[in-house]
Structure 1
Amino acid sequence: MDTAALLAVYDAQMRMPPGGTLPAGVTYEHDGPVVRIVGGHMGRIRAPRDVGVTGAALDRLIVRQRDYFQARGQGVEWKFRAHDLPADLPERLVAAGFVPEDPSTTLLGFAAELATEPVLPAGIVLRQVHETDDLRRIADHQSEVWDTDLSWVTGMLLSQVSADPTQITILIAEADDRIVCSAWSLYYPGTEFAALLGGTTLPQWRGRGIYRALIAARAQDAVTRGVPLLHVDASPASAPILRRLGFHAITTSTHYHWTPPN
């Protein structure tokens, strides 16, 4: 597998904010080489592989993004990949008060190879959902698994569905009307990619193939739509599963977060 070629396609299509219909209230604002994504539950910064500025100019660029969202009373996330330039961007983000999360593995897969028939344990039902009540249940499920308040997921999913339901597919696996796993795919018009997000399983249901089944179901959906590539920023727990399924690691990504002081 030519991972360099996959990385080049990823850099060309998945670095900057996508086209398509934006959720209500979300805007893209350009500041030199970067784009601010404004109007979500937190701010996001997206940049090309090479930001193109260094030293004091880079420090000023970083501080402008931080101060912009501080004025809004919001936190902001800056996503950095291991092959990004300049190489000292992470330390300059930290100097400006940004805190890194643990790195994720960026993996790409070919939808046609991964679109097998989902195999679920007995008693598990797989459903595609879009109603508000189900989206609220997903947020509750994710909050339970990650032991933090993810209630904002309801509004995020609902805004995506309301903007254009063809740009998102949301799946849940249920046992006796309880969500045991939830996941969704985002589609980006004008690209060859679907992003696989959210894949979260209750601890007591792990190791039974449910996460793999939702990967297969979303790969089938991508094939049906004519979308050839799947993208995942995977946690250390998920990355080995995805590699076994046939995904290819191309880089790592780290989210640097700045949070307003209390």
Structure 2
Amino acid sequence: MDHAAVRDMFDRDMREGAPPEGPGARVERVGAVVRHTGAEHGWNGVLWSALDEAGADEAIAGQIGHFTGLGRAFEWKLYGHDRPANLGQRLSGAGFDAGPEETLMVAEVADLALDAAPPEGVRVLPVTDAAGAALVADVHERAFGADASRLRRQLLDQLAGDRDTVVAVLALAGGEPVGAARLELLPGTRFAGLWGGGTVGEWRGRGVYRALVAHRARVAAERGYRYVQVDAGPLSRPILARLGFTPLTTTTPYVYTPDGAGTR
């Protein structure tokens, strides 16, 4: 893989030229910043920027003003190759809270081994309704120890809208949900996104996560996507590397929450 070329392609498709994530959302370019304003339960944030030392602080203030005016928290999704080099420090100084750094990992679907089956006694099933969305949120909370109410609402909105843009799946051991994951698809791009892949503690290390990756990658291939990408944490990075994913850069979420705003 030509890392620089694929990273540039990712920036064009998924950041600078990203389409809205669904009905009611909009993407706007304001100077050297591309931002996404979500629908009621959608994601709000900065997708891409091309800033320099002279204009960075003014651009940051402009985005704070936009989202504060809407009463919404938002994320500035900072990548390791973004400029200026001290943009993260500038965001922190402006009142953003930095989350854990992750690694953007990408694989060409044609290069992946997609035959990884779930462990014995585990089935991977699609999520199609509110009950399934609730189970996905439950797995997320058990796997990551974080509130998943926003995820549940967002998934419900996606399932009620264009189902060609999201595929959610559950891994069930008997009737118990032990893993969950989503595949997000943006028409017109070459990258399908793997999100929310989580396995509850007692089932880790038994092949559930690997099976969920393979299942979603097969769907991406069937839908005609060339690449799959994932923001990987320390637990998933080695698994993804063994499956054929390559690290391209890092990504860190910087979140700004205006007074009185929720975290949607």
State the partner residue of 1:109: 107
State the partner residue of 1:240: 238
Cα 1:227–1:24 change in 2 (3 A) is closer
Q: Distance in 2 between matches of 1:236 and 1:30?
A: 33
State the partner residue of 2:15: 15
Counterpart among 89, 97, 117 of residue 99 in structure 1: 97
Code of the residue aligned with 2:28 in structure 1: it is E
Code of the residue aligned with 1:23 in structure 2: it is G
State the partner residue of 1:226: 224
What aligned pairs does 1:100-179 form with structure 2 within 5 A after superposition?
Answer: 100-179=98-177
Q: Distance in 2 between matches of 1:159 and 1:35?
A: 24
Answering whether residue 74 of structure 2 is matched by residue 76 of structure 1, we say yes
Answering whether residue 24 of structure 2 is matched by residue 28 of structure 1, we say no
TM-superposed deviation, 1:41: 4.9
> Please, which runs of 5 or more residues in structure 2 have no aligned partner?
none
TM-score using structure 1 length? 0.91
Cα 1:18–1:161 change in 2 (3 A) is farther
Query: Aligned residues, how many?
Result: 258
Deviation readout 1:167-189 (Å, 9 max, x if unpaired): 11111101122211101111121
Deviation readout 1:123-150 (Å, 9 max, x if unpaired): 1111011211101221122122222221
Q: Is the 8 A contact 1:143 1:151 kept in 2?
A: no
Q: Is the 8 A contact 1:125 1:174 kept in 2?
A: yes
Q: Is the 8 A contact 2:126 2:170 kept in 1?
A: yes
Deviation readout 1:185-207 (Å, 9 max, x if unpaired): 11121111101101010011000
Secondary structure at the aligned position of 1:80 is classed as strand
TM-superposed deviation, 1:158: 2.0
Q: Is the 8 A contact 1:36 1:46 kept in 2?
A: yes
Deviation readout 1:20-58 (Å, 9 max, x if unpaired): 7x434322233222233223455211114x23x433x32
TM-score using structure 2 length? 0.90
Q: Is the 8 A contact 1:194 1:229 kept in 2?
A: yes
- RMSD across aligned positions (CA): 1.8
> Please, which runs of 5 or more residues in structure 1 have no aligned partner?
none
Q: Is the 8 A contact 1:105 1:234 kept in 2?
A: yes
Counterpart among 82, 85, 97 of residue 87 in structure 1: 85
TM-superposed deviation, 1:218: 1.0
Code of the residue aligned with 1:226 in structure 2: it is G
Deviation readout 1:184-235 (Å, 9 max, x if unpaired): 1111211111011010100110000110001111111111112110111101
Identity of aligned residues (%): 36
Secondary structure at the aligned position of 2:205 is classed as coil
Q: Is the 8 A contact 1:98 1:258 kept in 2?
A: yes
What aligned pairs does 1:39-78 form with structure 2 within 5 A after superposition?
Answer: 39=39, 40-41=41-42, 43-48=44-49, 50-51=50-51, 53-55=52-54, 57-78=55-76
Q: Distance in 2 between matches of 1:171 and 1:84?
A: 33
